Chain A
Amino acid sequence: MPISSLLYLKPRDWGARIARYASSWWSMLHLGAIALVMAMSPSTWHRANRLATSTYIHASTWAVLPWFTLLTALISLVIIRIVLVTAQSYGLSGFALEMMVRVLVLELIPLSAAMFAALRAGMAFDANAMGLAASGVAPGDAADATLRRVRRDLVPQVIANAFSVLSLAMVSSVIVLVLAYLNVYGLSPWGLGDYTRTVGRVFNPVVTLGFVFKTVLFGLAVAVIPSAAILDMLRYRRRHRSNVQPGALRLLFVLLLIEASSLAVKYI
């Protein structure tokens, strides 16, 4: 619900619209909290849920991990070469490795993993939810039942999406770290000490915690925001009039907010 839509309303309707806007953010946070609590409680993990979670994990991670890793490795290789060659031409090769680790592993890969998972999750939601939204306003009982069902499926899906972001980011980061080493030192094992030292210098406690925290937040955002948007749509029995995936803008906004906050904490 963009702020600019207020311009098309009468001023007396502004309060109601802002309240609805705030309640939709609140319901998103609430859903995230419910998902986390349910994920932590043992009673959730009965056979059906386990199976559902496994299926979602399989779909969101297992199926895409090889391709995503391959793609990230290729793009990272290009970036690594560019950084390395440029740094060497300026006589600053000593800083190339640190820059690669900082830029690729800490920033670009988690963000691209989150984007990829969001796109993947969005497509899945699209296929499932658009039919419902297009069928018009559901009757009261049917809407409640749908909410219950969504909640039942939601937790496995949220967990699977969060896990997907985490695993895509971690695997790609490790692959990029290996590629960076191979590009800088070749196949020789003698650069390992120096390399380890550089990695140790980059990953100080603040940066490491920030990296993990950011990746987890990315995962939660990707998992929760589109689901919350669809639930919101069902709750208010609105027809989805836009071609944009519900919650996509909000997701993008939140991802950028997390990234910017992380950069601010680390470098300002």
Chain B
Amino acid sequence: MADPNTIPDEPKHVEAKAVILLVAIAALIVAFFVYVMYARGVFEPTQQLVLVADDSEGVIPGMDMTFAGFPIGRVRQVDLGKDGKVNILVDIPKTDAKWLRTTSVFTLESSVVGQTRLRAYSGILTDPPLPDKASRPVLRGDAAAEIPRLMSTARTLLENLENMTRPDSAIGTTLANAATFSGRLTGKYGVLGTALGGDEEAKKLLQTLQRVDAILAKTDRRVFGKNGVMDDTQAAVRELNGMLQDARVTLQKVDAVLVEAQAVGANAKVATQDLGRLRGEVDASLRKVNRLVDEINRKWPFKRDEEIKLP
């Protein structure tokens, strides 16, 4: 600018080129703005949905609401209502509103990595469509909120594990006992020693068993041996058999006696019946004698005076 008339060398058609450039850049800027407005859904007819949540953490204007993984709405505004609840205003294009029904469920999921996700689930697509400006509660699932609980559970679990793996823990003792048990199993007295609690006890048991064995041998000899108890028993049984036969004969005789006695009884019965008749007859004879005596008394001169004299 030392020379006042210095202007950079004038290229050909410089004004036309400048105009072309100006127009092109202006068109580019306008096109960019139109594209951004289109991308933000300015030209699309929408309906509103108000989601009511307890906590707005992670919800930012502009975030998508998805249905089956497809974005169908965009959060326009998040504000705090008079009742202390968070109202999330979602714009849903009319073309996508068909996926939302009156029975749709809305969830807000916060993951450990990445942004919070707003999802819609429509179980029954034949239900009536969601009306404009509808208000629905949103269910919140927060993975980050689960972490403290998970950590405390994990800590308890680890403490338990540590308690279990300590040398003086119950499991350790059990395992030591198991080792002793398996050691005893493979020892001299094996299962017997293990079951009785020591080799000494097992030894005693074995001695006892040996004694029992010796006693059994003696018993066998005394019972089943020559001139043993069994031989005597057999003789006694034979004798008893003979006695039984004698008893049977005796009983037969008794039977005959009884038959006779029965016959005697029958005779006695008949005799008893005759005696009854005889007694009747005797009674009749006595009554006749009685009447006769009365008759004689009346007719006899030694008749008694029957008059009663009063003093």
Contacts of A39 in B (CB 8 A): none
The answer to whether B310 has its CB under 8 Å from any CB of chain A is no
**Contact assessment for B21 and A57 in the assembled complex, using a CB-CB cutoff below 8 Å:** yes
**Contact assessment for B2 and A58 in the assembled complex, using a CB-CB cutoff below 8 Å:** no
Binary A-proximity of B15-34 (CB < 8 A = 1, otherwise 0): 10111011001001100110
**Contact assessment for B25 and A163 in the assembled complex, using a CB-CB cutoff below 8 Å:** yes
**Contact assessment for A171 and B28 in the assembled complex, using a CB-CB cutoff below 8 Å:** yes
Stretch touching chain A among B61-69, B120-128, B253-261:
B61-69
A54 vs B8: C-alpha distance when bound (angstroms): 11
Contacts of B21 in A (CB 8 A): 57-58, 61-62, 65, 167
**Contact assessment for B25 and A200 in the assembled complex, using a CB-CB cutoff below 8 Å:** no
The answer to whether A52 has its CB under 8 Å from any CB of chain B is yes
Stretch touching chain B among A24-32, A144-152, A179-187, A245-253:
A144-152
The answer to whether A139 has its CB under 8 Å from any CB of chain B is no
Which of A56, A129, A194, A201 sits near B62, CB closer than 8 Å? A201
Q: How large is the interface on B (under 10, 10 to 19, 20 to 34, 35 or more residues)?
A: 20 to 34
Contacts of A208 in B (CB 8 A): 33, 36
In the complex, the number of residue pairs spanning A and B with C-beta atoms less than 8 Å apart equals 99
Which of B19, B25, B61 sits near A167, CB closer than 8 Å? B25
The answer to whether B190 has its CB under 8 Å from any CB of chain A is no
Most chain A CB within a 10 A radius of its CB, from B6, B19, B22, B25: B25
A95 vs B39: C-alpha distance when bound (angstroms): 17
The answer to whether A203 has its CB under 8 Å from any CB of chain B is yes
Per the 8 Å Cβ criterion, residues 38-71 of B in contact with A are 38-41, 61-64, 71
Contacts of A58 in B (CB 8 A): 11, 14, 17-18, 21
- By beta carbon, the residue of chain B nearest A204 is B62
A135 vs B38: C-alpha distance when bound (angstroms): 57
**Contact assessment for A196 and B38 in the assembled complex, using a CB-CB cutoff below 8 Å:** yes
Binary B-proximity of A182-210 (CB < 8 A = 1, otherwise 0): 00000000000010110111011000100
A201 vs B29: C-alpha distance when bound (angstroms): 19
Shortest distance between the CB of A26 and any CB in chain B (Å): 22
Contacts of A59 in B (CB 8 A): 8
Contacts of A44 in B (CB 8 A): none
**Contact assessment for A55 and B1 in the assembled complex, using a CB-CB cutoff below 8 Å:** no
- By beta carbon, the residue of chain B nearest A234 is B1
A19 vs B28: C-alpha distance when bound (angstroms): 44
Contacts of B8 in A (CB 8 A): 55-56, 59, 124
Q: A149-B1, A200-B40 are in contact. Are A54 and B25 (CB under 8 A)?
A: no
A: residues with CB less than 8 A from B are 50-59, 61-62, 65, 92, 94-95, 124, 128-129, 131-132, 135, 145-146, 149-150, 153, 163, 166-167, 170-171, 173-174, 194, 196-197, 199-201, 203-204, 208, 230
Q: Can you identify 7 A-B contacts, CB atoms within 8 angstroms?
A: A51-B14, A54-B14, A55-B10, A94-B114, A150-B1, A200-B36, A203-B39
